[in-house]
Structures are given as structure tokens and as C-alpha cells.
Structure 1
């Protein structure tokens, strides 16, 4: 397992949360520029979240950091289990689920920044 420094993890987590907090048009533009589907935003969050769970268990990051991110993970879990198609650009623009996700991601990013503020380079 590759060990990531806590500050590097924090920067990565904030980057992913910021993308999830973008408005719908910014999110669509983001995934189009990357040449990926909208589900990639969720996959990136999942990678970071799972890494954070391990880092928390090792005592490398504060529990409060992960607590801020849990609501985003829960929303994404519900979206994944939903029977309606939520992994489309149309859904990003129009669904209640995506709006809820953006709000949760914005709150999570603000919470992470409060718990462990980082210095801009």
C-alpha cells in the first residue's frame, strides 16, 4: 500500500470535494474536458474516501476529517443504488440527488478546511 502524507491526502480530498461542489455546468465541463463520464466524479471521491478511512484507522488524520466526508459518501451510496439513471449529464443538471450532493460536498469541503486548514503554495 502506498503511504500518502496527511497534507497530500487533505489536498486531494479537498480537490475532489470541490469538484463535487461545482455547479452542474462546471461539473459537465470538467468531465468533458477529462473525456470521462460523470460517474468518474463519484469514483474519484470513493478512492479518496477509502484511503481516508485507512489513514484515520492508522491515526494519520483526525476523525473529524472523515466525519465531514461521511454525508457525501452516504449520498453517493444512495445514488449508486437508485433505480433512476443518475450517471448522465442530464441528471447532473436536473436531478435533486445531484443538487443534494453538491450541497453536501460544499459543506464537507468547508468542514475539512476548518478541521485542518492548509497553506496555499
Structure 2
């Protein structure tokens, strides 16, 4: 029986979610069209992976540095969610400064996690 390492799975899921958040708008929109979902799905995928990383870190299986690297992305998504501006549209995904900042934070987090966790 081949069981996957929960730490490796968590890091892979987190990197995948960050890669999607860091992607160019046309790539994000293409992904959303394939799934038939709205832009908030990108945030939900990150949230799932980030919450898993927090849990895995809490069990001592994942370094706190990995969670810390992704924390600014989580904070930015929370701000976007609580904003009075409608950020969860494809149009805003393409043009808004909120999404540009989010992409930048996701790129930084991805680089830090790649350095820390490989």
C-alpha cells in the first residue's frame, strides 16, 4: 500500500493554489471557464490549502515558515472579501489593483515556500 506523505501533499496543494493566484488574468479566466465557476473559486481553493497547511503545521509536520509565507495572501483575500467593492468578477480579476496586488503577494509567497520547503 502506497501512502502519500501528508506534508508533501499539503505543500503541493498550497503551491498549486498560490500558482493559480499568481497566474496572469487570462490563465485564471481560462481555468475558471474550464470549471464553470466564478473568480471566488480561486480564493476558496487557496483557503482550503492554507487551512490544511495551518493544521499540518500545528501537528508539527510542516514548518511555520511555510504558513508564514502564505499569511499575507490570506490576509489580502480576507480584505478583498470584506471590501465593499465587488472584486469577485472576471472584469475585476483582469483590471483591478486588488487582483494585481494579490498576484504579487502570491508570487512572493510561492518563491518563499519554494526556498523553504523545496
Give the TM-score of the pair, scaled to structure 2: 0.94
Q: Distance in 1 between matches of 2:16 and 2:35?
A: 15
Give the unaligned 5+ runs of structure 2: none
Task: Quote how far apart the aligned CAs of 1:4 are.
Answer: 6.4
Give the structure 2 partner of residue 32 of structure 1.
33
**2:72, 2:5 → 1: CA distance?**
23
Q: Is the 8 A contact 2:10 2:56 kept in 1?
A: no
The answer for the alignment partner of 2:90 in structure 1 is 89
Question: Partners in 1 of 2:58 and 2:12 — Cα distance?
Answer: 19
* Matching of residues 50-61 of structure 1 within 5 Å: 50-61=51-62
- How far apart are residue 52 of structure 1 and its match? 0.9
Distance 1:8 1:50 in 2: 13
Following superposition, which runs of at least 4 residues in structure 1 exceed 3 angstroms of deviation? none
TM-score if structure 1 supplies the norm length?
A: 0.92
Instruction: Give the alignment of 1:56-67 within 5 angstroms.
Output: 56-67=57-68
Count residues in correspondence.
Answer: 115
Q: Which moved more, 1:4-13 or 1:95-104?
A: 4-13
User: Match for residue 71 of structure 2?
Assistant: 70
- RMSD of Structure 2 on Structure 1 (CA): 1.2
> Residues 31 and 4 of structure 1: is their aligned pair in 2 closer, same or farther, counting only changes over 3 Å?
farther
The answer for the alignment partner of 1:79 in structure 2 is: 80
